[in-house]
């Protein structure tokens, strides 16, 4: 909405007198809001946005264009957009009724442009679309994607709405397992290697530290266990049942550090170096 001020001048016999200043407000007949469906984002994931348009006036809008900056931000002198529009994802409702999808294109500067939106007088329209988080999206703990959309017809001052989505917090874990040697004679020794990787911005917490469980088949005997190269003891570091082959690390014995994040200043691309922990179990078959 816009405000205005006005003042009158009275001239008489060469003397000019100013009136008091009056103020008024021009109410926008078109309002826009933007909401992200997902509460947070992660690398390579999608964010679905809902843009709501409300026409409180007595005249219909028949050719509104939505322009979405796809999270535009700057890195030094470089401008990057951390979101890519998912082609064909746009849906369009008027008064809650699904309409033919409007034209959605990517502009010359990389912005998303959705044209041909109508909002009847005293009614509303909703536009829904998805965007993929690309490799220029910030991933460090506490990062956000701030995304702005504007709506306007030709010759009209755009109305804008902004939505912020934070990066998925906490630890993001994965585990890999390898065996060496791959071929072993009966009564030979083998080593299982487990690597836990954390691609999140926080290390695992004391209350939520990971536990590795495995049932070895064939069952191992005379096992030796190390964590990051240091031996750990049965009872305090792990439990093992030589009858069933069930192996379990103790609560709180494994802490996985947070990942580190680096952004290339020339491309804006983020790289992730996961935090890792390595556990080995060596035993006789």
| Position 30 pLDDT exceeds 70 | yes
Using CA atoms, how far apart are residues 84 and 74, in angstroms rounded to an integer?
16
Q: Where are the domains of the chain?
A: 28-167, 173-284
Q: Do the domains 28-167 and 173-284 sit in the same CATH topology, yes or no?
A: yes
Q: Are strands 40-41 and 159-167 parallel, antiparallel or unpaired?
A: parallel
- How far out from the chain centre does Cα 94 lie? 28
- Give how far Cα 12 sits from Cα of 8, 21, 50, 176, 194, Å: 13, 20, 59, 91, 94
Q: Tens digit of pLDDT for each residue in 189-207? A: 999 999 999 999 999 976 7
This model's pTM is above 0.95: no
Neighbours of 216 (CB within 10 A): 20
The residues with which 221 forms a beta bridge, in sequence order, are 284
Is residue 82 within 8 A of residue 137, CB to CB? The reply is yes
Q: Which of 137, 135, 117, 136 is nearest to 127 (CA)?
A: 117
pLDDT at 1: 47
Q: Tens digit of pLDDT for each residue in 214-270? A: 999 999 999 999 999 999 999 999 999 999 999 999 998 999 999 999 999 999 999
For the domain with range 173-284, which CATH number is right: 1.10.150, 3.40.50, 1.10.10, 2.60.40? 2.60.40
pLDDT at 240: 98
pLDDT at 176: 98
Using CA atoms, how far apart are residues 260 and 256, in angstroms rounded to an integer?
12
Using CA atoms, how far apart are residues 137 and 73, in angstroms rounded to an integer?
10
Neighbours of 217 (CB within 10 A): 8
For the domain with range 28-167, which CATH number is right: 3.40.50.10310, 3.40.50.10440, 2.60.40.740, 1.20.210.10? 2.60.40.740
Which is more confident, 207 or 180?
Answer: 180
Using CA atoms, how far apart are residues 211 and 205, in angstroms rounded to an integer?
12
């Amino acid at each position: 909405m816009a405000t205005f001020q006005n003042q009158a001048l009275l001239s008489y016999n060469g003397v000019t007198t100013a009136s008091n200043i009056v103020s008024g407000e021009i109410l926008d007949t078109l309002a826009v809001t933007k909401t992200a469906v997902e509460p947070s984002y992660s690398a390579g994931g999608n964010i679905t946005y809902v843009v709501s348009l409300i026409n409180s006036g007595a005249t219909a809008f028949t050719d509104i264009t939505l322009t979405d900056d796809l999270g535009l931000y700057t890195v030094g002198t470089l401008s990057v957009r951390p979101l890519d529009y998912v082609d064909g994802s746009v849906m369009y409702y008027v008064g809650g009724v699904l309409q033919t999808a409007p034209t959605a294109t990517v502009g010359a500067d990389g912005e998303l442009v959705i044209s041909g939106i109508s909002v009847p007088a005293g009614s509303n329209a909703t536009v829904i679309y998805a965007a993929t988080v690309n490799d220029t999206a910030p991933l460090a703990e506490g990062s956000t994607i701030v995304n702005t959309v504007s709506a306007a017809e030709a010759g009209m001052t755009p109305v804008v709405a902004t939505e912020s989505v934070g990066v998925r917090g906490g630890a993001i874990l994965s585990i890999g397992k390898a065996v060496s040697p791959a071929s072993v004679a009966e009564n030979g020794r083998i080593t299982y290697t487990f690597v836990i990787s954390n691609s999140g911005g926080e290390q695992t917490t004391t209350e939520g530290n990971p536990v590795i469980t495995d049932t070895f088949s064939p069952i191992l005997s005379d096992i030796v266990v190390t964590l990051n190269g240091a031996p750990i003891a049965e009872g305090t570091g792990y439990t093992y049942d030589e009858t069933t082959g069930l192996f379990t690390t103790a609560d709180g014995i494994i802490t996985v550090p947070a990942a580190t994040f680096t952004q290339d200043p020339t491309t804006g691309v983020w790289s992730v170096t996961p935090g890792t922990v390595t556990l080995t179990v060596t035993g006789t078959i």
